[in-house]
Amino acid sequence: MAPDLTPYLTVTEGELRAALDRDEPALLPFYAMLRYPLGFADEQFQPVQADSGKRLRPVFCLLVSELLCGDYARALPGAAAVELLHNFSLVHDDIEDGDEMRRHRATLWTLAGVPHAINAGDALFALAERELLRLPERGVAAERVLRAIEIFQDTCVQLVEGQYLDMQGEQIRAPSLAWYKQMIAGKTAALLSAATGIGAAVATDDAHMVTRCREFGIELGLAYQMTDDILGLWGDPSVTGKAAGADLRRKKKSLPVVLALERDGPLSSTIQQAFDQGTVREEDVLAIMRLMDEANVRTAVEQEVGKHRHRASRALKRIIREGAVSTKAGVLLEALTATLTQREK
């Protein structure tokens, strides 16, 4: 059973809405565009509570802070900053990748046009930075704020590096496992590491503990993305909302594809031939899925997930053993860590 995160989600929503609150009449349409990716506006940019994603990153930020100092409220600006940064990256990624749908809704650029969407993404990025500068209002010392800002800026660089590698991967016929891990470390794991790192930075002066928390976030982020890759091919359509083999139709260089391409023979050649076409045919998807099953590719992917899940769990246990102040936060972090890498959607 998934842990009850309602208190953390509620305060996060309040912090995000406050960050996007602006009543200047001339700017109301602009701020409505900013609210749209976060699920606070509909496709006509009217107020609504739509699918906003799991809000995992701010929750991890708050829980780590509570774990290490017994208080999550002081980390709220940091949690909001990470979520705003995440949504900035999604708005720009959707433009760069040409994606028209996200979370079962039209992407911002398809509604507002590319120039407005770029501008909105830039604003989300700036607002994220401004949130960090509000940490002193929560009683966070200047040295801790500086460390949080350093983590945030490191993450920004990692995000764009990961996006570059992802786009570059479209031209690589047989990407390596090392390339794949470097790519998802930037695109996915870096943000989760920022969340756990900033949560620690505002809670403690122990630099080694902050580093451990960042490492925990990286390992969990890797396992999380690899689990997503499993669901992108073998997930139950009635649960995920996507057809089996969906990532193959998108020619996504997910972990199953990367591991399959490393193998000689019919599997790798069938994938290459299918991806060389303008559109991947349905019969090719079925053939690749069958060959993957015969080659036990899913087992290999699950082994990689297990490796990083174990590393994340081991890192968290050490953090709890050496620095925990809140037993409750520790229990929630352990439950959430398990849930994220053993989920069905």
Rounded-to-10 torsion of CA 114, 115, 118, 123:
-140
Structure confidence at residue 344 (pLDDT): 72
233: CATH: 1.10.600.10
Structure confidence at residue 302 (pLDDT): 97
Q: 268 in a domain, yes or no?
A: yes
Range of the domain at 120: 6-340
pLDDT, one tens digit per residue, over 81-114 is 999 999 999 999 999 999 999 988 999 999 999 9
Structure confidence at residue 280 (pLDDT): 95
Rg (CA), the chain: 20
Cα–Cα distances (Å) from 92 to 21, 121, 160, in that order, read 22, 6, 10
Q: 159 in a domain, yes or no?
A: yes
Residue ranges of the chain with per-residue pLDDT less than 70: 1, 241, 345
Q: 215 in a domain, yes or no?
A: yes
3-state secondary structure of 277: coil
Do residues 315 and 197 touch, judged by C-beta distance below 8 A? no
Crossing angle (nearest 10°) for helices 327-340 and 56-69 = 150
In sequence order, which residues have a C-beta less than 8 Å from that of residue 268 and are 6 or more positions away? 174, 260, 261, 262
Encoded tokens for 11: 């305060």
Q: Taking the CB of residue 117, how many other CB atoms lie within 10 A of it?
A: 22
Give the percent of the chain with pLDDT over 70.
99
Sequence-ordered alpha helix ranges (H) in 175-251: 177-184, 190-201, 207-234, 237-240, 246-249
The secondary structure of residue 280, as a DSSP letter, is -
Q: 97 in a domain, yes or no?
A: yes
Q: 1 in a domain, yes or no?
A: no
Q: 28 in a domain, yes or no?
A: yes
Structure confidence at residue 3 (pLDDT): 86
> Which sign, positive or negative, has the C-alpha torsion 218, 221, 58, 337?
negative
Do residues 229 and 187 touch, judged by C-beta distance below 8 A? no
Q: 345 in a domain, yes or no?
A: no
3-state secondary structure of 131: helix
Q: What is the count of structural domains for the chain?
A: 1
Structure confidence at residue 300 (pLDDT): 97
Encoded tokens for 184: 């998802």
